[in-house]
Amino acid sequence: MSNSLEFPIHFHGLIIHSDGRWVRSFPNDTIPAGTNTLTGVQSKDVVISHESNVFVRLYIPKTPIPTRKLPTLIYYHGGAFMTESAASPTYHRTLNLITTESNVIVVSVNYRLAPEYPLPIAYEDSWEAIKWVASHVGGNGPETWLNDHADLQNVFLAGDSAGANIAHNMAIRVGLSHEKVFNVSGVIMLHPYFGGKDPVGAEAKRFKLHKEFIDMMWLLANPSGNGLDDPLFNPGMDPNISAFGSSKILVCVAEKDALRERGLNYKKVMERSGWKGKVELMESKGELHIFFLFNTSCENSCLLRNRICNFMNPIRCKA
């Protein structure tokens, strides 16, 4: 562990000591699924694996038209792979708004958390969710909401922070997979959580301490991996990156976020990788990391959700 950070570190219910020991002092806050009184969006939780108890929280708009299938968004929550859930109040509130504003079906994945379940378990759970969604392609899957309302020829992957990391890695797995899943229409990367042994941009000085913290959290979540240059964490080290299974990416960064450096670097890495797609970039001025989860009504949050809507459903949304 670093000598620059002040221990013990308290991070959303995790207490981390300088020798690597950790304690989860309280569970994540959760909120039940149901009908949202503000938007009319309906949601419910569905267990997709009785072996692992992994579940997804499904969202459908207030009045889906029976004869019209809607774009499907598979969403991975953030939290450094170690906190939050698909039932967290911040994600529930935000995904209710995305569902109604973009008129989409949302599948929010509740993968298992490190350190109790170290990586790559979260990636495996996330892949199981993709396969579960894909089981509905023929219209005879186990969940009627997806059979009746989801356009599985128009599927998007998205996530914030660690969830954006998962979305990226799932898109590569889709591109490499011999398993029958679906085509990914686009990937939405919100304030992505990446890293690497060598600093990029302002990580060398201004955000040096923050990089130490991010490095420590990655190694705690993935103790048996390949260190800070593990391709799961540092996309530039991934020999399979050009297999990315979608033709377009939206990368969103925040001006005052220390992870902005990694988001900007990710755009460069993808454009130099040999991948043939297009990367769009949106920067939220004056904002911090994942601000849109905590203040859903501010102007920048509304602009961000409108950009997400336009990326998935441009006919519905204003440019």
Predicted pLDDT of residue 318: 55
Predicted pLDDT of residue 314: 82
Predicted pLDDT of residue 319: 47
Angle, alpha carbons 230-236-241 (nearest 5°): 95
Mean pLDDT of 115-124: 98
Active site residues: 161, 257, 289
Please report the sign of the dihedral spanned by the C-alpha atoms of residue 306, residue 169, residue 276, residue 105: negative
Pairing of strands 184-190, 248-254: parallel
pLDDT digits (tens, 9 = 90+) for 242-282: 999 999 999 999 999 999 999 999 999 999 999 999 999 99
Q: Which residue has the higher pLDDT, 314 or 306?
A: 306
Locus of tokens 């562990």 = 1
Predicted pLDDT of residue 180: 78
- Inter-CA distances, 169 with 14, 99, 184, Å: 25, 24, 13
Q: What percent of the chain has pLDDT above 90?
A: 92
Pairing of strands 150-160, 42-49: unpaired
Q: Is the pLDDT of residue 190 over 80?
A: yes
304's CB contacts (< 8 A; 6+ apart) are: 190, 252, 282, 284, 292
153-157, 208-212, 314-318 — which is least confidently predicted? 314-318
DSSP string over 206-254: TTHHHHHHHHHHHHHH-TTS-GGG-TTT-GGG-TTGGG-SBSEEEEEEE
pLDDT digits (tens, 9 = 90+) for 99-119: 999 999 999 999 999 999 999
Q: What percent of the chain has pLDDT above 70?
A: 98
Pairing of strands 70-76, 54-60: unpaired
| pTM greater than 0.85 | yes
Q: Which residue has the higher pLDDT, 2 or 63?
A: 63
pLDDT digits (tens, 9 = 90+) for 27-48: 899 999 999 999 999 999 999 9
Strand partners, 32: none
Q: Is the pLDDT of residue 203 over 60?
A: yes
| C-alpha–C-alpha distance, residues 49 and 131, integer Å | 11
**Rg, the chain, Cα only:** 19
Domains of the chain: 9-312 (3.40.50.1820)
